[in-house]
Structure formats: structure tokens, C-alpha cells
Amino acid sequence: MKKENYSKIFMILCALNITCLLMSNIITIKTINIVGLVFTAGDILFPITYILNDVFTEVYGYNKSRFVIWISFFCNLLMIIVFQITIALPSSEAFEFQSDLENILGNTPRVLLASFISFLVGNFANAIALSKIKVKTNGKYLALRTIVSTLIGEGLDTIIFVPIVFLGTLDIKTMLFLMFDMYILKVLIEVVFTPITYKVVGFIKKKENIDTFDNEVKYKIFG
């Protein structure tokens, strides 16, 4: 069996990806209204995981990106389990914030289901799209490729997440507006960060002396 090697840069980026994912899931409880666009605080931070997904796929290839997606998923799952156990444990008389704890950390089963499914579908779609387009374009047009893959990944993420969470509680029109606002914000963040993504990818490729093309990858979801 071939032994996988993971560089320091790769592990740092992996840790950053996991941190952004976990933090975005915690702060998503706060809704924000800026110039008429309504979204959650998590929507600002979560797109960074897609930017990092682009970096992993572009530099290290789909298989390494798949590893990061799954390790991030299971770290998120572990965090949720710990939160639920913490909430369920009996409180001491001195602890006066049980209801606050439940409001902030006690996501409903629908939210958890939506976040898990949308995360996996969106991230894998993003990675596969970027990897395939890179091969088709022979590694050219990085900025365009990252934006296109994000349009696909974030689109699927939003289309899956919103209906699962809000179907039956919001009318269709409101859900569509919410999906539109969330999608536009996420794509805008990707576009704004594109020059930085371009620089980071170039730096890592040079530093690591690697530029992976997935010519013979079968794009399995499980390794």
C-alpha cells in the first residue's frame, strides 16, 4: 500500500479549513441584514472552506481534497456530538445559562441534516468540477475555473440546505429570496478572494514543487 505524505503547508491549510467550517457552524445562529441582503454570520466565513477546497484540488489533486473534505466532515460531526452531550448533562445550581447554551449550540435535527448533506454534496461537486476543468483546459484559466467550480458547489449547497431547514416554516417565495441572497454572497466572496487564491496557489506550487493533474482519477467519494 502506498504511503501518503502530507506536508506542513498541507496540514496547516487542513487545520484552517476545519477551523473555518466549525466556526461558521457556530456563528450561523446570527442573521445579518446588509443593504437588503439577509444572510447568516456563518455565510461570511463558510465560503473560505470552498476557497481552500480550490487550493487543495488545484495543487494537490482530487484525492487529497477528498481526504480534507472527509476529515472536516468528521470533525464537524464530533463537535456536534460533544455539543449535544454537553447540553444533555445535568447542570449545577450555579450554572444559569442552560437555555442560552441550548439556543446557541443546540441545532435542530433538520439543521444538522441539512448542513451535513449540503457540505458533502457541495464540496465534492466543487472539487470534481475544478479537477475536471483543469484537465480539460490543461491547467489554464485558474481564476475562471475556481469561480465556475464555486458556482456549481455553492449552488448545490444552497439548493440543498435551505429547503431541508425551512420547508414548512417559510413560504416558497421567502425561501427563494433567502437562497438567492445566500448564493450571491458566497459567490461574491469567492470572486473577491480570487486574486488572493491565485497568489496562494502559485506560492504553494512553487514551494511544494507540485502541480497535480487528475488525468486518471476515478473521482470516488470514498477512498
Q: What is the pLDDT of residues 165-191, one digit of tens each?
A: 888 888 999 889 889 988 988 889 889
- Across the range 82-96, mean pLDDT stands at 93
Cα torsion through 48, 52, 58, 59, rounded to 10: 150
Distance, in Å, from the CA atom of 25 to the CA atom of 148, rounded to the nearest integer, reads: 25
Comparing 27-41, 53-67, 160-174, 178-192, which segment has the lowest mean pLDDT? 27-41
Q: What is the pLDDT of residues 20-29, one digit of tens each?
A: 999 988 888 7
pTM of the predicted model as reported, rounded to 2 decimal places: 0.91
Comparing 6-20, 94-108, 123-137, which segment has the lowest mean pLDDT? 94-108
pLDDT at 219 over 70: yes
Distance, in Å, from the CA atom of 52 to the CA atom of 13, rounded to the nearest integer, reads: 7
Cα 180 to its chain centre, rounded Å, is 18
Q: How far is CA 85 from CA 80, 115, 170, 192, in A?
A: 9, 19, 30, 39
Going by C-beta distance under 8 Å and a sequence separation of 6 or more, which residues neighbour residue 45? 20, 23, 24, 27
